[in-house]
Amino acid sequence: MSILFQKKTKTFHLFNQEISYIMTVLPNGHLGQLYFGRKIHYKEDFSYLFEQVCRAMTACVFDDNNGFSLEHTRQEYGVYGTTDFRHPAVSVLQENGSTLSDFVYESHQIEKGKPKLPGLPATYTESEEEAETLTVTLKDALTGIVLELFYTIFAEGGIIARSARLRNEGRTNVRLTRVMSLCLDLPDSDYEWLQFSGAWARERHLKVRKLEQGIQAVDSIRGNSSHDQNPFIVLKRPTADEDQGEVMGFSLVYSGNFLAQAQVDTQDTTRVLLGIHPFGFGWKLEPGESFQTPEAVVVYSHKGLGDMSRTFHRLYRSRLARGYWRDRERPILNNNWEATYFDFTEERLVEIAKKAKECGVELFVLDDGWFGARRNDHAGLGDWIPNEDCLPEGIVGLAEKIEDLGMKFGLWFEPEMVNPDSDLYRAHPDWILQTPGRHASLGRYQYVLDFSRQEVVDCIYGMMAKILSEAKVSYIKWDMNRSITECYSGALPADRQGEVFHRYILGVYSLYERLTSEFPHVLFESCASGGGRFDPGLLYYAPQGWASDDSDAVERLKIQYGTSFCYPLSSIGSHVSVTPNHQVYRNTPLHTRANTAYFGTFGYELDLNKLTDEELCQVKEQVAFMKQYRSLIQFGDFYRLSSPFEKNVTAWMAVSEDKSLAVVGWYRVLNGANMPLERLRLKGLDENRSYWVMEDGQEKKGLYYGDELMYAGLITSDAATADGDPKKACCGDFDSRIFILKA
């Protein structure tokens, strides 16, 4: 790993064993992009990569150089209107109404390690040897605005982390109307675009299309990263697949409004932009003030989508997630929500917890309905005081009873919201986001608290910290059940209303930071009606997130498969729920529900007292299985084998770092008659070692070499290929199997 600067050619070369990132100072002082991709040898002069050509209808920077136009020059941080007609990385509105900037190179700094981003989540290092950071300083002489571009290259993996900071060293106020975290100009457009889209209960479905001239984009202006889109995209060569070919993943470490965009011009060059969405954004920057963008992470691989994903997994699992729970196996939990909803008493909760303990469950979680007047979703939000009608001894007493059973206790909060029917709202009706003179919309019978205001955050912190200080709470599920409407803060003047969306997210981050710092042993799990804010920003504070409110095993195949392109399995909340499923009303076998949920954090969303003795035996076996293999599943290398977006069969596997142990999940949605013989090609094994293979706990005969299992394949043919003999029948539709491989 190294960052080298060639003074004569004013060229920067960032490289490690996987990648090279090369940029240069252009003739006009701007920063230009020369190369990003597979590692190439260092040399003093890469100036040949800066090509100048004179084209008709091209505006020129210098009158005496008809070949130099920013319209056809790859840049590091483009500005619209300076002969560049593409969408810009930055736009600064000045007092005279102009939005032109001229950011010229002034200096740079190269340092070991990686500096923190104030008030924002970001990747980090634990030693200086893990990364190097380049800071390039540019300045607009007319306005006095200073632009700092940050580039961190990690020692391992094809990873570049980028962000930008603008500082007003001028004498007048300016307004930032667009400040992207990443701008990357690529020399061609021969890519396929991958996005991860959906809606509530079907988040992060993989969508693929070819890049074409024009703009391709995903975004959110909902105030949260959203169920609809995820702040993560992939560009891959058309021939690239899971195992080979050039791939670039772009991920924004942020939880609010975002834009991820690729613009292909008519010369087939591509500009990728990633950052805070400029719609509704406007940040007043007074003299002496600065603005820091969120971090963008780009991962390059020439070894396909799988290698890109595993690089993200390792980085986000160990250098984005933090704290006590970062490297620890996650506890198996039982959440009461789908078991009781709002209809519970303390006695009923303890009853559910006792049965869970009998089955080996380690953590009991009390969900919504324990506070204020909260006996339905119409009232109580904001009043984080235990309701003694249903909990006579409060949270302190209930937590003590759960602890006495030999389990840990967890609790649900929705700290960012308030019901109109609540003491908090009656005392502070001005504490919600609302536009003066306009109707304030309800969502799930609730308003959004104005987390851009410090006094609001302080109030919620006080109530949450009191409970965490008094009761034995080991886990917090932090929910957020609606997007932001009427985004206006009564605490900010008119010329700062464009700051509210971002200030809101900074308020959320600050509350997380205070609570996780004061209660470091509490495991936080983020949630937003399931996957409405499943993003890297929250992974910095909560090492796991509820991936979707949809707990149906078949739907979860697509949700968890899509999620795995960027996010580690240790971050994916995945549970077994009842049938018929409460979201899609499908009946699936208990073993398939567990086999899907294993590949995440694992738990149960049901009342185990209502299961049959046979089902309870299965649950005990499932819990024992997860305890034995969860370290491998949550922290091993993950390989996708067969896509639910393409086939009737989904398959994936987790492999230990030393390749001595692997767990394979195989899932068939619909059964068929007289089906073809099937083999599943495994991945990630040591081709020179032999493995014992167990299917659903039963050892298959003989030993199989790693190369045999990867290239010839593991036979998965079953009774569906036979003549319908009932003695050979499997479970039918929604079948699944787990294979264990031991070297």
**Which region holds residue 722: left if phi is over 0, alpha if psi is between -120 and 50, else beta?**
beta
84's tokens:
């560049």
Catalytic-labelled residue, pool 185, 307, 450, 479: 479
Catalytic, 550? Answer: no
Amino acid identity at 639? Y
Give the C-alpha separation, 412 to 398, whole Å: 14
Q: Using CA atoms of 694, 698, 699, 705 in order, give the dihedral in degrees to the nearest 10.
A: -20
Strand partners for 692: 703, 742
| Rounded distance between C-alpha atoms, residue 15 and residue 154, angstroms | 9
Helix (H) / strand (E) element for 413: namely strand 408-413
Cβ count near 243 (within 10 Å): 14
Q: Spot the catalytic one: 84, 185, 549, 735.
A: 549
**Strand ranges (E), 634-678:** 637-642, 649-655, 661-668
Q: Which of 50, 6, 42 is nearest to 21 (CA)?
A: 42
Burial class from Cβ neighbours inside 10 Å (0-12, 13-18, 19+) for residue 92 reads buried
Q: Are 542 and 186 in contact (CB under 8 A)?
A: no
Torsion of CA 14, 16, 18, 23, to 10 degrees: 10
Any idea which residue has 């400029």 for tokens?
A: 278
Cα separation of 301 and 159, whole Å?
Answer: 9
Orientation of helix 590-597 relative to helix 553-563, angle to 10°: 10
Rounded-to-integer distance, Cα 664 and Cα 736, Å: 11
Residue 18's alpha-carbon distances to 14, 43, 184, 576, 694, in angstroms, are 11, 17, 18, 40, 36
Residue 479 bears catalytic tag = yes
Active site residues: 479, 549
